[in-house]
Amino acid sequence: MELSVIVPTFNEGPNVAELVRRIGAALAGTDFEIVFVDDSTDETPDVIAQVADAADFPVRLIHRDAPDAGLGGAVLEGFHAARARWCLVMDGDLQHPPEDIPRMVDRAARGDVDVVVASRYIAGGTSGGLAGATRTAVSRASTALTKSMFPRKLHGCSDPMTGFFLVDRDAVELDQLRPRGFKILLEILARRQMRVGEIPFAFATRFAGESKASFTQGIRFLTQLAMLRFGRMSAFALVGGVGAIANLIIMWGLIRLGMEYVVAAIIASEITIIANFLLLEYLVFADMRAESGRMRSRFIKSFTFNNIEALVRIPVMSVLVESAHVPSVLAAALTLLAAFVVRFVFHALVVYAPKRMAAVAAAEPAVAQAGGRTLES
């Protein structure tokens, strides 16, 4: 068998027949199966069974009476049950167009990748099916935060949050996966360095039913993200915390010596910007320095960004002091806290972005021809 299509479902009965029809049409002439891993509390399992009886290709149903680890857990169960080495994962609501599957299969057939990601964020892709500007903004912000927390492993992936991807199951250490929610691709990519290829796709509107996205799912995603990447971000937070405390102590001392609080804040910021950069170099991003250019270049980027950030932060602090009558040191602390996430994202994605990934990627096809994984191997 060439391909297993894994579809996790939760109360998606109205979409099943159309989904199976379109997958069958897209993969005509291919030896494939569809594996539904269903956590539904309605009639969806019965609908899947009826559609399976009428299909002229294998359609299998795994119904979980006691769902474990949400959608990610369902996909993991599908991986274990799949008969093919290559597994395509997609949602059951038709927001992932089945017509794009052949392009993903063709990309994998080149033999130089372990994963093919259908991306909303490369040329030709769109996220138009997201419900409203707020959800679109949240999706993009979540993607940026995720990539900043895994800058090396996600360097070649523009859309690690997608649920539409094709993966070589033999390249995934299934026993190491600990899914906690919707983002199973992130779990796969964060656990091991994978060779990633991408195709653009247009995220469609739902065929039927309602979105399962919720505030609870957002909390689960943040928990998953923290569990996967707690180490680097916590170290960044520690350095940032030490720098913030030093900033406040220096500022307080200068004010005690009679200096104006704004001037004191500027001097304290410049001292801690330089000190924090050195701490980041040797404590937080030490493993990424060799791939991210010269130290001078990193320092210029970091110093410039932090000064721009200070130019924004210090006037905000001034407004808090002058208009809201917040004590100057407390106002400085509040603005430093607000700047933390922005600083982390910038340093991970820009200052320490790998510079040699393109050269490595260019060299891989030659190796792949000798021993790469293909859909036929």
Which parts of the chain have pLDDT scores under 50?
357-377
What does R_g of the chain's alpha carbons equal in angstroms? 24
Q: How far is CA 221 from CA 102, 107, 145, in A?
A: 30, 29, 12
Q: What is the pLDDT of residues 335-364, one digit of tens each?
A: 878 888 788 888 888 898 876 543 444 444
pLDDT for the residue 232? 67
pTM of the model: 0.61
Q: Which residues of 257-283 are buried (b: 16+ CB within 10 A; e: fewer)?
A: eeeebeebbbebbbebbeebbebbbee
Is residue 364 within 8 Å of residue 195, measured between CB atoms?
yes
pLDDT value of position 364? 42
Question: Which residues sit opposite 3 in a β-bridge?
Answer: 32
What is the model's pLDDT at position 305?
A: 92
Q: For residue 17, what pLDDT is reported?
A: 95
| Domain residue spans of the chain | 3-213, 229-358
Supply the pLDDT for residue 360: 43
Quick one: which H or E segment has residue 100? none
- At 289 the pLDDT is 80
For the chain, report the end-to-end CA distance as a whole number of angstroms.
Answer: 11
- Beta strand residue intervals within the chain, DSSP E: 3-9, 32-38, 59-63, 86-89, 115-119, 165-168, 196-200
User: For residue 80, what is the enclosing H or E element?
Assistant: helix 70-81
Contacts of 48 (CB under 8 A, 6+ apart): 9, 16, 36, 38, 59, 61
Q: What is the CATH number of domain 3-213?
A: 3.90.550.10
